[in-house]
């Protein structure tokens, strides 16, 4: 296994970690107006996220940093081509952070900050899927491998459909997390919404898979050549089945684990279909791959050593934080 492949896997693992962890933050934010109907319930939901949300976003920063270090050409092409969309995501994430941190301090602005929290969660939850859809479908690149389209080029039907798939997956993740961290009426609302979100996700995912056979047929080439990678979509469907059964039996933690497995399975399924490509171009000759877009072997080797030393520490610290703040949100201090 080459260092290029190792870094492809590491970047995808970091993005999968972000999808699973910040996925429940974004999902709870999108469901916020429906899960919480009074101020006490809103504080409960924010307390459920309070110890974790900023740490979860570190996975996105680390993934972006790893992409920049290992595959700088991909970083340059995607971030310049998707500039306006990424600025919208960044603005939304800042809006969400301000809403969470200042809601209990600016009492007279609570309603405005609640709206900011909702919008700051909805936009990234939708736009991340749109970005994935464009990268998978193929974007217009010139001979210098620079983005040659416009912002409106990104809003094509296929990518918007994948945006809805991502939104449904985050809503399901948020609903199952709310079940884990709350009780009473919020729990019951989260369970009801989770059931609806499950059906929406399954329907949208099947539709997206069918549409991919038309718009992104190249994603299936690796599966035809290497059938063993079907383990990734299998993981996705096992997670969905586990989630469905757990929702029916009211097993909150099992439902959350199943939803997390399905999210990780989605990222892995897409990654397995794209390898060794990182960005598809409308002209296949201009595809950005782990070879033509990578840093020097010395850079990859040096960064790999740093990753081997640093990632276990991050994982241990993350696990420790989740252990310390385990339990229902009502048992925490009302800090938000």
Q: Is 131 exposed, middle or buried (0-12, 13-18, 19+ CB in 10 A)?
A: buried
Phi-psi region of 327 (alpha: psi -120 to 50; beta: other; left: phi over 0): left
Which of 3, 131, 125, 10 lies closest to 63, judged by CA?
10
Q: Does some domain include residue 194?
A: no
Q: Does some domain include residue 196?
A: no
Which of 61, 72, 80 lies closest to 7, judged by CA?
72
Res 194 pLDDT > 60: yes
pTM of the model: 0.94
* Separation between Cα atoms, residue 272 and residue 198, nearest integer Å: 24
pLDDT at residue number 302:
93
Instruction: Name residue, tokens 């798939």.
Output: 165
pLDDT at residue number 186:
94
CA dihedral 188, 190, 191, 192 (to 10 degrees): 90
Our separate counts of H helices and E strands in the chain read: 12, 2
pLDDT tens, position by position, 97-123: 999 888 878 878 889 999 999 999 999
Q: Does some domain include residue 251?
A: no
Q: Does some domain include residue 182?
A: yes
pLDDT tens, position by position, 252-305: 999 999 999 999 999 999 999 999 999 999 999 999 999 999 999 999 999 999
Beta bridge partners of 141: 147
* Separation between Cα atoms, residue 330 and residue 336, nearest integer Å: 12
CB 256 within 8 A of CB 237: no
Q: Does some domain include residue 268?
A: no
Structural domain boundaries, residue 171:
3-187+274-331
Q: Does some domain include residue 227?
A: no
Please state the domain count of the chain. 1
């Amino acid at each position: 296994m080459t260092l290029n492949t190792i870094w492809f896997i590491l970047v995808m693992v970091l993005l999968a970690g972000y999808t699973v962890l910040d996925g429940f933050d974004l999902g709870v934010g999108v469901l916020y107006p429906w899960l919480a109907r009074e101020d006490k319930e809103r504080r409960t939901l924010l307390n459920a996220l309070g110890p974790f949300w900023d740490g979860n976003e570190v996975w996105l920063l680390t993934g972006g940093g790893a992409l920049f270090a290992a595959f700088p050409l991909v970083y340059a092409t995607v971030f310049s081509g998707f500039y306006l969309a990424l600025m919208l995501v960044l603005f939304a994430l800042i809006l969400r952070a301000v809403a969470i941190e200042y809601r209990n301090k600016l009492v007279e602005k609570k309603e405005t900050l609640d709206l900011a929290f909702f919008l700051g969660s909805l936009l990234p939850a939708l736009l991340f899927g749109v970005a994935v859809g464009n990268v998978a479908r193929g974007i217009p690149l010139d001979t210098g491998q620079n983005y040659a389209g416009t912002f409106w080029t990104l809003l094509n039907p296929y990518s918007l459909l994948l945006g809805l798939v991502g939104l449904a997956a985050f809503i399901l993740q948020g609903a199952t997390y709310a079940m884990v961290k709350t009780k009473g009426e919020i729990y019951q609302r989260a369970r009801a919404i989770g059931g609806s979100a499950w059906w929406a996700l399954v329907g949208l995912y099947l539709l997206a898979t069918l549409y991919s056979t038309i718009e992104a047929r190249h994603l299936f080439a690796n599966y035809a050549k290497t059938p063993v990678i079907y383990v990734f979509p299998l993981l996705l469907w096992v997670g969905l089945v586990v989630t469905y059964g757990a929702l029916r039996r009211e097993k909150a933690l099992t439902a959350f684990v199943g939803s997390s497995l399905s999210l990780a399975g989605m990222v892995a399924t897409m990654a397995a279909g794209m390898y060794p490509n990182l960005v598809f171009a409308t002209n296949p000759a201009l595809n950005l791959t782990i070879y033509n877009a990578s840093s020097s072997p010395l850079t990859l080797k040096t960064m790999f050593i740093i990753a081997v030393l640093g990632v276990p520490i991050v994982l241990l610290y993350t696990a420790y934080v989740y252990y310390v703040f385990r339990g229902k949100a009502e048992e925490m201090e009302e800090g938000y």
